[in-house]
Amino acid sequence: MKKKANADKILKAFGIDNIHHLFYSATKNVGRKELQKMLTEAIEDELA
């Protein structure tokens, strides 16, 4: 369960309420590559 909680915390840090909002935002506002880069950096920071 801890991984899910961390993922939710990371998404909330980006102001994203849930995974559906994430993908909606990805297709609407931000290029997928840019979004992936932002999330990867956030996850790496979280794990560091």
| 33 band by pLDDT with thresholds 50, 70 and 90 | confident
In this structure, the chain runs to a length of: 48
pLDDT at position 3 = 66
Distance CA 23, CA 20 (A): 5
Instruction: Check residues 38 and 21 and name the one with the higher pLDDT.
Output: 38
pTM of the predicted model over 0.75: no
Token pair for 35? 């979004």
Range of the domain at 7: 2-47
- Provide the domain count of the chain: 1
Tokens of 13: 């840090």
